Amino acid sequence: MSAPESPSSRREFLRLAALAGFGLGIGNGLTSNAEAAPDPRALSFSGIKEIGKTRPRLAGAKPVWNLTTKPMEKVRVAFIGLARGMTHVDSALNLPFAEVIAVCDLLQDRAENAAKKVATKTGKRPAVYAGDENIWEKMIARDDIDVVYISTPWEWHVPMCVKSMKAGKHAFVEVSAAVTVDECWQLVDTSELTQRHCVILENCCYGDSELFVLNMARQGFFGEIKHAECAYIHDLRQEQMYRLGAEGAWRRNYHTFIDGNLYPTHGLGPVAQYMGINRGDAFKYVVSMSSPEFNLTQFRDKNNPNGGRHKDEKYICGDMNTSLIKTELGRSIMIQHDVVSPRPYSRINALCGTKATFFDYPPRLAVDGKGHGWAYEGDKLRAFMQENAHPLWKKVGELAKRVGGHGGMDFIMNYRLLDCVRQGVTPDMTVYDAADWSAILEISACSVKNGSMPVQCPDFTRGGWKELTPLPTVS
């Protein structure tokens, strides 16, 4: 049985499954008349005047930007969503200090496959929760879990994070962490109230190029940092937009009602870290512009995917969205989003300082005083990058490549983040980063909707960024 295609067809799927007595999870006592899946169109989108307003801290809440927790020998993890989520399961299975306690997916076979993999590797079968949209609530109520990984469609991220933190767990959530600015506040407020981490699983912050640039930026190699460029440019038309049983079941929906940068964090996360955003600097305002929409409609009309069932969909998200972010220190960031054009993959990943400039895809490095061209590229740059690799890559890079996951960066990320929980130290990406980076989705859309007017960014740290200094990001 393939995954249902949209929130409404998922509801129908569950109704039919209930009628047929289909696949309920083990001993859960739940029936399939579960609450409806969250409808992203019903989310609270802000107007241009309200969106940038900083909300007061809730009574009883405390900042979590330097939150430390009790160290532990083993970090007990559980997983909701087992497509992309399997990469995180694989990482955990290769970490001696992680233990997989439970796995959960709407689809029984995905949960069973994950459990089988864990049992084969460890000899211990994790608990399985499956077959119902809300069965994850049973799982997070257990008292033997420290971290809940959330790798589900975007509309589920915030409800699952909030309830996980309220159940006393740290929430590790896939990108983007949230769809709206209001949802970003929910993450911040819940993390501050519960004193649990809400960590965005921004794997691109752990790529070897990105950690090399971070390493050099921290050592002052770039001089004064003034500008960055980044993007998510990835032609997803075939695989992720129309493939049922995968992202084609839900991702395209966002193209029907939001025109902006729908997936900002892969590009933005790394450059925000180079620039010390939330720790010495902060996003101030955004100006955004979209090109016309052509490619998704043309692809659909030409290929008639899934027997014509998408023929009445109207896509409004411009093919290329370009946004400019101004920071409080006056620096600038250019960020783009295009998942439908025929062009090579790129996150751009560029950093410009007074002493050097790095550009990726392919990697190139210009250095002041070493001529007007690229001082390092090709083999010469590869050798230089290896010499100056980040300590994390030097330490576990070889293992990371063997375990895999986007060239090893998924493993490096999971190693580092779970190790932070094990040690009880603040993870490299706090809830303020999850909120700040994800908020660009709605902020860019708000600017596009208002004729590219500048839109203020909310300060999720409520002024904390002025005093904070960057976290070390070492092991």
Ligand X SMILES: NC(=O)c1ccc[n+]([C@@H]2O[C@H](COP(=O)([O-])OP(=O)(O)OC[C@H]3O[C@@H](n4cnc5c(N)ncnc54)[C@H](O)[C@@H]3O)[C@@H](O)[C@H]2O)c1
**Footprint of ligand X on this chain (CB under 6 A)?**
3, 80-84, 104-107, 110, 133, 136, 151-154, 156, 174-175, 203, 246-247, 249, 406
Taking the CB of residue 375, how many other CB atoms lie within 10 A of it?
18
Closer residue to ligand X in complex, CB, 185/254: 254
- Using CA atoms, how far apart are residues 377 and 209, in angstroms rounded to an integer? 13
CB of 133 to ligand X, least distance (A): 4
Closest CA to 40 of 131, 146, 176: 176
CB of 410 to ligand X, least distance (A): 7
What is the full DSSP assignment across 440-452?
HHHHHHHHHHTTT
Closer residue to ligand X in complex, CB, 111/443: 111
Q: Which residues pair with 367 in a beta bridge?
A: 356
Closer residue to ligand X in complex, CB, 107/448: 107
Closer residue to ligand X in complex, CB, 151/190: 151
Amino acid identity at 79: F
Taking the CB of residue 295, how many other CB atoms lie within 10 A of it?
20
- Omega cis (within 30) before 176: yes
CB of 70 to ligand X, least distance (A): 29
Closer residue to ligand X in complex, CB, 375/412: 412
Closer residue to ligand X in complex, CB, 28/452: 28
Closer residue to ligand X in complex, CB, 80/468: 80
CB of 3 to ligand X, least distance (A): 5
**Strand 198-200 with 170-173, pairing:** parallel
Q: What is the DSSP letter of 384?
A: H
Closest CA to 103 of 122, 84, 130, 76: 130
CB of 420 to ligand X, least distance (A): 18
- Using CA atoms, how far apart are residues 105 and 100, in angstroms rounded to an integer? 15
Burial of 47 from C-beta contacts in 10 A (0-12 / 13-18 / 19+): exposed
CB of 88 to ligand X, least distance (A): 10
Q: Hey, what are 434's tokens?
A: 């999850």
What is the full DSSP assignment across 426-474?
PPSS-HHHHHHHHHHHHHHHHHHHTTT--EEPP-TTTTGGGT-------
Closer residue to ligand X in complex, CB, 178/468: 178
CB of 61 to ligand X, least distance (A): 26
CB of 128 to ligand X, least distance (A): 12
- Using CA atoms, how far apart are residues 171 and 200, in angstroms rounded to an integer? 8
